[in-house]
Amino acid sequence: MNNILLIETATPFCSVALSRDGVTEQVRQISETNAHARVITIFIDEVLKACNLQPADLSAVAVSMGPGSYTGLRIGVSAAKGLCYPLELPLIAISTLQAMAWGMAQKARQENRLPDNVIYCPLIDARRMEVYTARYNARMEQLVEVQAVVIDEDSLQQWPTESNLVFAGDGMAKAKPILQQLPRAIFVDDFTPSATYMAGLAQRKFENNDFENLAYCEPFYLKEFKAAAPNVKGLR
C-alpha cells in the first residue's frame, strides 16, 4: 500500500491530504488566505495521526510546484523537503494547474456538466490583469504550455472557439467579464484548489518512479519574484 502525503500551498489556500493507492483518506484545508506558514505543520501532523501513521510510514511526499504564490510555493516545497531528506522519501512534483484541471473535471462530473469536446482551463490570479493558465483535455493531457496571459479584449482570439472551455480558479473573478464573451465558455464559480486533487496524479508518478532530485528541485515560479518597494520615509 502506498501512503503519499499531498501538499498544496501554491494558491492563497493551504491544504494537506493523505492518499492510499491513489485514493484520498484524509484532508485538512483552510479557507483563510495566506495562513500557510501557520498551519502547514499542524495539518501534516493531523492527517498522519488520523490515518494512524508515523512520518516513517510514508511512501512519498507530493507537493504542488506551481505556478502560483512565491511565498506559498516556498513554504510547501520546504515542508516537503523537510520530510523527504531525513526520512529518505521520494519527492513527487505536481503541476498546480494540472491538479486544478483534475479537480475541475471531478466537480464537473458531479454536477453533470460534461458536454462533449471539453478543454479545462484553470486560472491562477497573477498581478494586474494577468493569470497563470494552461489547457488540458479530458485525459489530463496538456494542450498548451503553462503561461502568464493578460486577459483583455485582444486576448479573446487566443482561445479556441470550437471547444467547450471550462474555467475555474481564483483568477476567474477578474477574467470572467472578458472570457464570458467566448461562445462555449463554462464557469465553475465555487472551485477551490485542494491537495485532494493531487492524489491520482501523484499515484501515477509514484508507479512510474517519476521522482525529483531533492538537491536541485525548485518551485516553478513562471515569473521572477519582485519585491515591492518599501513605503517608508527615508528608505527610497
State the CB neighbour count (10 A cutoff) for residue 26: 18
Residue 184, CB-side half-sphere exposure with 13 Å CA sphere: 16
Residue at 227 is within a domain: no
**Do residue 89 and residue 105 come from a single domain?**
no
**Look-up: residue for cell 493558465?**
133
Write the DSSP assignment of 21-34 as a string of letters. TTEEEEEEEE-STT
Residue 73 cell numbers, joined: 510555493
**Do residue 100 and residue 88 come from a single domain?**
no
Residue at 179 is within a domain: yes
Is residue 230 pLDDT above 70, yes or no?
Answer: no
**Do residue 161 and residue 175 come from a single domain?**
yes
**Do residue 103 and residue 87 come from a single domain?**
no
Angle between helices 96-110 and 199-207 (to 10 degrees): 120
pLDDT tens sequence across 45-93: 999 999 999 999 999 999 999 999 899 999 999 999 999 999 999 999 9
Domain count along the chain: 2
Distance from C-alpha of 205 to C-alpha of 90, rounded to nearest angstrom? 11
Residue type, 28: R
**Do residue 72 and residue 110 come from a single domain?**
no
pLDDT tens sequence across 201-219: 999 999 999 999 999 999 9
**Do residue 60 and residue 101 come from a single domain?**
no
**Do residue 132 and residue 181 come from a single domain?**
yes
- What lies within 8 Å, CB to CB, of 101 at 6+ separation is 120, 121, 122, 134, 136, 140
pLDDT value, residue 62? 98
Residue at 202 is within a domain: yes
Distance from C-alpha of 93 to C-alpha of 76, rounded to nearest angstrom? 11
Mean pLDDT of the chain: 90
**Do residue 181 and residue 100 come from a single domain?**
yes
pLDDT tens sequence across 92-146: 999 999 999 999 988 877 766 666 689 999 999 998 889 999 999 988 899 999 9
**Do residue 145 and residue 33 come from a single domain?**
no
Is residue 236 pLDDT above 70, yes or no?
Answer: no
pLDDT value, residue 107? 83
**Do residue 77 and residue 90 come from a single domain?**
yes
The SS3 call for residue 59 is coil
**Do residue 81 and residue 7 come from a single domain?**
yes
**Do residue 54 and residue 110 come from a single domain?**
no
Can you give the residue range of the structural domain that contains 103?
Answer: 96-187
CATH of the domain at 138: 3.30.420.40
Name the least confident of 20-29, 141-150, 222-231: 222-231
pLDDT value, residue 44? 98
